[in-house]
Chain A
Amino acid sequence: MTQDGVLSFYEKLKKVNTFCASLASLILVFVTFFIFYDVFMRYVFNRPSIWITEISTYLLLYMTFLGTSYALQQGTHIKVTFLSDLFNLRAQRVITLITSLFALTFCLVLLWQTGKMTWLSVARRWTSPTMLSIPLIYVYSGMVFGSFMLLLTFVIQILLAFKGKMENEVHEKGEKI
């Protein structure tokens, strides 16, 4: 792929990531009101639900994995640089490349293993051990999707950084909590 090709692909990817994070936002708003409603029904009408708690935990998984590539894109993942600060800029770029490969390996294994887990959940028809007994494929596949987006975003970022065209360095510390 040419340089501009990578850049324009990254622009599109950013839109997809932001869309995923917006979807996760919507889920968060729903979870907030689901749980609020649940407490209200239980406390005021003494009618607890069987599904809200369980569904909320699955939705947390979706929030996490729909948001992770967006977090990477926004530079939210916290890192420190007390050792690489000791080197000059040229050396720092090489260091960044190497350390990115370490991080990339983690994402790759995550994709591989969550993929395996999802495949097993299909092959063995795993369902949640609760009254709802939800087929776990619907839960686990969220992890596969999220890991894939994370990996893709990471690869593109590394490609751009390697070619020195990362126009706004995303490596600065992002928002902190």
Chain B
Amino acid sequence: MSLGLLTILIILALILLLGFGVPVAFCLGFIGLVGVILFVDIRALYQLAEIAAFASTNLFMITLPLFIFMAEVVNIVGIGDDVYTAAHNWLDWLPGGLAISSVATCAGFAAVSGSSPATAAAIGAVAIPEMMKRGYNKRLAVGAVAAGGTLGILIPPSITMIVYGMITEVSIGKLFIAGIIPGIVLAFILSLAIGIAVKIKPDLAPRIKGVSWRKRLSSLKKIWPFVIVAFSIMGSIYSNIATPTESAAIGAAVVLFIAFFMGRLRLKPLHQALLRTISVTAMIMFMIIGGLMFSFLLSNLTIPHYVTQWVTTFSASRWSVMILINVILIIMGCLLDPMAILVISLPIFFPIIKALGFDPVWFGIIVTINVEIGMITPPVGLNLFILKGAIPGVTMKDIVKGSLPFVLILVLGLAVVMVFPWLATWLPGKMF
């Protein structure tokens, strides 16, 4: 059988099994196993044990449960509420001020949370009812939070980047730092778009009367937990005191201390938070184990090499390949969740972009923005589901229609980072 046919068969098997509802982790692992038995050697199945042991004792992967745990405790403390109050007190004078402050809050909250749906849920729960109370258009309110929430994985820490770093062996610390500027740029573009939309159609968002300076300043007093946590994570990575793993532990420990001293640490919610953390961690770890098994099969059959060669001989320019990869990632984003996109696509895409001479760190940011877009595109968009669950009284139709314009804006942001790669590469270059 030719390698081309084999590649197509494997991809078909993957689409079939995934589409018929085999959990992503087991699906990838199963195809890997069957492929190994058929085309390699049954004794090579032992690789599965090697992979499981390698992935689950990987020092960098400890970052994962620590950051998930931190985000859970951040929610217990209620940091999102206080930051939102401060943001909308300061930004109320802008057209669509409350929607813009939702985006700003998401961007800020992203600095203490590594997950997009967690960010959208935490901010949405405070911001959306507030906006609807003040007569904001429902769809604008929901869309702003859904889109703003996706910044959770672009602005460090980021669970997506941890998994990207694990699969591609790119430094997680560099990826984190690389996400900062694109994250701020995206937040700015989103805010600008909201401002322009409200200028054109003022009935989307009624103007709010000015807030007194006294109130503004006093709202700042409440955000100290946020400042401490964000500073302890980013500061420790950037100043090289700690590795990303250690900064995750610092972040989680600091939030726990804060929760304890604010008297908000109760045993039962903490236990629930821990159970959710363990459950999500095990899920992602299994997805990585399955993904690595799949990847082992591919590289054993030299498929990544074959596809890379095929792509480089047939395409006109490396940018047309890059654009094609982005289109595929966006389509995958409509159907799959971020982790699944990473573990499925990177074994094939990453060798291609390396062969074409693209910067691996920059590509990490591009992939991250792509999966962000995937989080607000139907039918499978995690942020859409989480908002439906978190906000009573909004329909899925409102959420989807409200998010759709923001998909275009995020694509614009993606294009900006592609045209100006230094947005992602400048800061990490300064770091080491």
Q: Is there an interface contact between A31 and B249, defined as CB atoms closer than 8 Å?
A: yes
B30 touches A103 (CB 8 A): yes
Chain B positions 19 through 34: 1 when the CB is less than 8 Å from some CB of chain A, otherwise 0:
1111111110110010
Q: Which residues of B contact A127 (CB under 8 A)?
A: none
**Given A32-B249, A80-B335, A143-B53, also A175-B279 (CB < 8 A):** yes
B339 and A78 contacting across the interface, CB-CB below 8 Å: yes
Contact of B249 among A36, A98, A106 (CB under 8 A): A36
A76 to chain B, nearest CB (A): 5
Contact B117 A63 (CB under 8 A): no
Nearest A residue to B245, CB-CB: A35
Closest Cβ neighbor of A70 among chain B residues: B279
Interface of B, helix, strand, loop or mixed by DSSP: helix
Is B348 part of the contact surface with A, judged by Cβ < 8 Å?
Answer: no
CB-based A-B contact count at 8 angstroms: 224
For chain A residues 22-52, which have a beta carbon within 8 Å of chain B? Answer: 22, 24-25, 28-29, 31-36, 38-39, 43
Are A31 and B275 within 8 A (Cβ)? no
Q: Residue A6 at the B interface, CB < 8 A?
A: no
Which of A36, A61, A171 contacts B250 (CB under 8 A)?
A: A36
Asked if B274 and A25 make an inter-chain contact with CB atoms under 8 angstroms apart, the answer reads yes
Residue-by-residue, is B29-56 near A (CB-CB < 8 Å gives 1, otherwise 0)? 1100100000000000110111011001
A39-B246, A102-B30, A176-B385 given as contacts; is B59 within 8 A of A81 (CB)? no
Q: Quick check: is A132 within 8 A (CB to CB) of the other chain?
A: no
Is A78 in contact with B241, judged by CB distance below 8 angstroms?
no
Instruction: Report if A177-B68 is in contact (Cβ < 8 Å); known contacts: A70-B278, A83-B19, A140-B53.
Output: yes
List B contacts of A173 (CB < 8 A): 385
Query: Contacts A60-B56, A177-B159; is A77 near B379 (CB within 8 Å)?
Result: no
Binds B, one of A7-15, A110-118, A158-166: A110-118
User: CA separation between A21 and B382, bound complex, in Å?
Assistant: 25
| B122 contacts chain A at the CB level, 8 A cutoff | no
- Determine the interface band of chain A, counting residues with CB < 8 A from chain B: 35 or more
Contact present for B25 and A53 (CB under 8 Å): no
Smallest distance from the beta carbon of B100 to chain A beta carbons, Å? 26
Q: Is B406 an interface residue (CB 8 A)?
A: no
Picked from A102, A113, A116, A175, the residue with its CB within 8 Å of the CB of B22 is A102
Q: For residue B65, which residue of chain A has the nearest CB?
A: A28
Tell me whether B33 and A109 are in contact (CB under 8 A). yes
Contacts of A31 in B (CB 8 A): 62, 65-66, 249
User: In angstroms, how far is the closest chain B Cβ from the Cβ of A63?
Assistant: 6
B181 at the interface (CB under 8 A from A): no
Q: Contacts A57-B57, A117-B49, A176-B117; is A38 near B246 (CB within 8 Å)?
A: yes
Q: B50 to chain A: which residues have CB within 8 Å?
A: 117
Residues of A near B290 (CB, < 8 A) are 106
A58 to B337: give the CA distance in the assembly, Å: 28
The answer, yes or no, to whether B276 is at the interface (CB within 8 Å) is yes
Task: Verify B21–A107 contact, CB threshold 8 A.
Answer: no
B279, A67: Cβ atoms under 8 Å? yes
CA of A56 to CA of B365 in the docked complex: distance in angstroms?
A: 29
Q: Which residues of A contact B278 (CB under 8 A)?
A: 21, 24-25, 28, 63, 66-67, 70-71
Inter-subunit contact B249/A143 (CB<8 Å): no
Q: Is there contact, CB below 8 Å, between A80 and B281?
A: no
Instruction: Say yes or no: is A148 at the interface (Cβ < 8 Å to chain B).
Output: no
B20:A99 contact, CB within 8 angstroms: yes
Q: Which of B20, B275, B386 is the one whose CB lies under 8 Å from A83?
A: B20
CB distance from B164 to the nearest CB of A (A): 14
Assess whether B283 is interfacial by the CB under 8 Å rule.
Answer: yes
Chain A: minimal CB distance from B174 (Å): 20
- In the complex, the answer to whether A60 meets B57 with C-beta atoms within 8 Å is yes
Residue contact B283 to A71, C-beta cutoff 8 Å: yes
Q: Is B385 a contact of A60 with CB atoms below 8 Å?
A: no
Which residues of the partner chain A approach B287 to less than 8 Å between Cβ atoms?
Answer: 78
Beyond A60-B58, A78-B24, A79-B27, 20 additional contacts (C-beta under 8 Å) are A25-B278, A31-B65, A32-B249, A35-B249, A36-B253, A58-B57, A66-B278, A67-B282, A68-B285, A71-B286, A80-B18, A80-B335, A81-B19, A84-B21, A102-B22, A102-B30, A105-B33, A113-B46, A113-B49, A175-B276
Cβ contacts A to B, 24 pairs, < 8 Å: A25-B277, A28-B274, A32-B249, A35-B62, A36-B250, A39-B236, A39-B242, A39-B246, A63-B65, A63-B278, A67-B281, A67-B282, A70-B275, A71-B282, A71-B286, A79-B22, A79-B27, A102-B17, A102-B27, A109-B48, A117-B50, A175-B276, A177-B68, A177-B284
B residues touching A (Cβ–Cβ < 8 Å)?
Answer: 16-27, 29-30, 33, 45-46, 48-50, 52-53, 56-59, 61-62, 65-66, 68-69, 115, 117-118, 159, 236, 241-242, 245-246, 249-250, 252-253, 256, 271, 274-287, 290, 335-337, 339-340, 379-380, 382, 385-386
